[in-house]
Structure 1
Amino acid sequence: MQNSTNIKAGAPNPSLKPPSWWAIKMKEMKAAKHSYILMMPYLLLFSLFTVLPVIMSLLISFTYFNMLEAPRFIGWQNYIRLFLEDDIFLIAIKNTLLFAAITGPVSYIACFIFAWIINELSPKLRAILTLVFYAPSISGNIYFIWQMIFSGDRYGIANGLLIKIGVLLEPIQWLRNEDYILIIIIIVQLWLSLGTGFLAFIAGLQTVDKTLHEAGAVDGIKNRWQELWYITLPSMRPQLMFGAVIQLTTSFAVADVSISLAGSPSVNYAAETIVTHLMDFGTIRFEMGFASAIATVLFIIMVATNLIVQKLLRKVGE
């Protein structure tokens, strides 16, 4: 007679423990080892030049570090000084958020609209217009064009035109007047915004399966707007996400336009941004601990904004 303690056929063995989470993950990594080997060069470079600098910046933000002496731990003093004692930083936050709130969405929508229109053209004309729209973002120092337009004398294009038609009697110092400088920088940045995100949208529109449009017509899609919302946009979610990250990062990290047109510092800090404030303390005053605190705050703002945008983009087509 078989012992009653024997395990019945098909019954789970209580002596065998389920595999741990770590064991499962190691098994999955072993199965996909070839993929990880191919990814290793990128992961090493990404860790070395992105992850490690972010971690180091976060650690340095809690120290006093002037590049000459060893870092000295001071706790939260840099952040307390940043928010309670640095009035210019508060101006920089206000300007940066205003700048990002305008240029981020407007440039993102403009990139997609221009890409959508150009995608409907013939291949040769599409290639020419893509180059025309993309060229400003890859050109060198082209800010002198805008310096000519907004020059403060009568020979400036804007002043000359407005005086000629009778709108102005005397020239305006466009780039030295705090009432105009931020508006001008926003205009210039929008002009430069058709860059990588624009190309990503062009590429995404090219990959949309044409048969989906035919299937949509059968399912009741009646016009181009419904086709755009229910077929085109959901089909290019990766490109939409990538474009959003690029445009938001660019709008939050604006500095070159401000420095080239308004100088550093600008008049009454009217065009001061978080990045120009960071460059002031990091590359001129060499207060690396304080500069790292500024960089950390900017990093947190950008990550939080990108998470919100990604959450919104997941609802596209619903």
Structure 2
Amino acid sequence: MKNSRKHRIKSATIGWSFVVLAVVMICTFTFYPMVHAFMMSLQSGTGTNLTFVGLDNYARLLKDPTFLTTVKNTVIYLIIQVPIMIILALFISVLLNNPKLKFRGFFRTAIFLPCVTSLVAYSVIFKYLFSLDGIVNILLMKISLISEPIQWLTDPFWAKITIIVAITWRWTGYNMIFYLSALQNIDYSIYESAKMDGASPIQQFFKITIPLLKPIILFTSIISTIGTLQLFDEVMNITQGGPGNATMTISQYIYNLSFKYTPDFGYAATVSYAIVIMIGIFSILQFKVAGDKNE
């Protein structure tokens, strides 16, 4: 009994020695900042001169017109861009999974490359492409689709379109990789059996591919939702939230509250937790929509 107890203690000590550093790092750099940010969200004041105000900051959110505008802008990006990106990534992955397609490796690399480029660099490039005298307007005028340049960056509607196009260009390839890896794990004999039964390619896609990719589609939808709700770099570098606040996102508003306006770290932390709440709500909705009816 005594030897067995010593052995268990020794085994536990060895096991904890491998994970204790990771646990300490996670607690220090993840959980502590989360708790500290929540405590800060219950305070208000200028700079570091904060006083406890309870839930006043959360009540302030509902009356803050700038915050409500940023929520509206972010949700617009979410409900338009995420479905387009998911559908496009799924469609491209199915095409590139075709074993008869030549140069598959080249096309896969070309479509994936945008998501490894610098966020700032590609945002600045898009800003120049969609400027008043940029390549996009020049090409559209040369092929006679438009008669005068479109105000891509200064018109509220077109500025949102520019942001959506930029995000879709960068992140479609990222989601495509997940679908490609999942498609390659589907037994090809399933499709052969479906062909023998007379199923068309469209029927195979909707009756076989989509159901088998359901967990991956849910995963990519959730991570894309989280990324869109935290959208910052593209808006900051392409439109800077303008014109007015027409393209400003919640994350940019947090940045402005902390560093651009008179620093109000307590209220900025409150807005940060609003993103956390929104992520939780959208994730639960997606699980409910995509969930198994038997669960």
Once the two structures are superposed, residues 188-214 of structure 1 have per-residue CA deviations (whole angstroms, 9 ceiling, x without a partner) of 111112243221111111112334445
Once the two structures are superposed, residues 32-86 of structure 1 have per-residue CA deviations (whole angstroms, 9 ceiling, x without a partner) of x8999987776655554444433332222111254533x42101221222211x2
Question: In the alignment, does 2:34 pair up with 1:54?
Answer: yes
* Cα displacement (A) at 1:164: 4.4
Alignment of 1:155-170 (within 5 A): 156-164=134-142
With normalisation by structure 2, the TM-score equals 0.81
Question: In the alignment, does 2:33 pair up with 1:63?
Answer: no
* Contact persistence 2:96–2:107 (CA under 8 A): yes
What's 1:88 paired with? Answer: 66
Once the two structures are superposed, residues 241-292 of structure 1 have per-residue CA deviations (whole angstroms, 9 ceiling, x without a partner) of 32122211222222211111112x4121111111111111123343111111
Alignment of 1:134-173 (within 5 A): 134-140=112-118, 141-153=121-133, 156-164=134-142, 171-173=149-151
Alignment of 1:178-197 (within 5 A): 178-197=156-175
Secondary structure, counterpart of 2:234 in structure 1? helix
* Contact persistence 1:63–1:289 (CA under 8 A): yes
Distance in 1 (CA, whole Å) between partners of 2:258 and 2:143 is: 46
Secondary structure, counterpart of 1:272 in structure 2? coil
Q: Pick from 216, 240, 254: which aligns with 2:231? A: 254
What's 1:75 paired with? Answer: 54
What's 2:258 paired with? Answer: 282
What's 2:4 paired with? Answer: none
* Contact persistence 1:95–1:271 (CA under 8 A): yes
What's 1:97 paired with? Answer: 75
2:231 counterpart letter in structure 1? V
Higher normalized helix content (fraction of residues): 2
Distance in 1 (CA, whole Å) between partners of 2:192 and 2:147 is: 60
Distance in 1 (CA, whole Å) between partners of 2:205 and 2:78 is: 26
Distance in 1 (CA, whole Å) between partners of 2:145 and 2:195 is: 53
Question: In the alignment, does 2:263 pair up with 1:303?
Answer: no
1:146 counterpart letter in structure 2? F
1:53 counterpart letter in structure 2? P
Question: In the alignment, does 2:212 pair up with 1:235?
Answer: yes
2:225 counterpart letter in structure 1? L
> Alpha carbon RMSD of aligned pairs, Å?
3.3
Q: Which has the larger radius of gyration?
A: 1
CA gap 1:39/1:242 in 2 versus in 1, 3 angstroms? farther
Distance in 1 (CA, whole Å) between partners of 2:284 and 2:178 is: 20
What's 1:177 paired with? Answer: 155
Question: In the alignment, does 2:274 pair up with 1:294?
Answer: no
Number of matched residues?
281
1:83 counterpart letter in structure 2? L
Distance in 1 (CA, whole Å) between partners of 2:17 and 2:102 is: 40
* Contact persistence 2:232–2:251 (CA under 8 A): yes
Once the two structures are superposed, residues 96-124 of structure 1 have per-residue CA deviations (whole angstroms, 9 ceiling, x without a partner) of 11110001111111111111111114597
CA gap 1:55/1:109 in 2 versus in 1, 3 angstroms? farther
2:59 counterpart letter in structure 1? I
With normalisation by structure 1, the TM-score equals 0.75
* Runs (5+) with no aligned partner, structure 1: 1-29
CA gap 1:48/1:121 in 2 versus in 1, 3 angstroms? farther
Q: Pick from 221, 227, 230: which aligns with 1:244? A: 221
What's 1:107 paired with? Answer: 85
